[in-house]
Amino acid sequence: MSSRKDKQTEEQEIAAEETQAPSQTETQTEEATVAQQEGQPAVDQFIYCGPNLPRGILNQYTVYRGGVPKHLTQYTEKCPAIQHLFVPIEALTKTIQAVQKVGTAENVWFKQVIGYIKGGVK
């Protein structure tokens, strides 16, 4: 009789697990899948970690969706380092540390952008 009760208890636990809310990761994956099925691109957010460009053209730590904005194309063509300093928000802390550490690629790109600014952004 106890084995029958154990089996019923096990079945109830399985049923309870199946009715629980999905985890956050599962929900995010489902949302991305739905967006792709509806023809919408998944939204990616990037943050610019380089120095401010004059006249408010581009400000440090500004968040953008979907990559580098098209109005910056003329600047990224003249100074490709600008594009390298757009990073996923999740990488912000590591990028800030890398920018401050002499010799890293991020540090070199930051200095290249400063040089571009001093040369006169047109």
pLDDT in tens, 17-56: 444 434 333 333 344 444 445 555 455 899 999 999 999 9
Rounded to whole angstroms, how far apart are CA atoms 47 and 80? 16
In order, the DSSP letters of 3-41 are: HHHHHHHHHHHHHHHHHSPPPHHHHHHHHHHHHHHTTPP
Tell me the whole-structure pTM to 2 decimals: 0.63
3-state secondary structure of 68: coil
Can you tell me the mean pLDDT for 96-111? 97
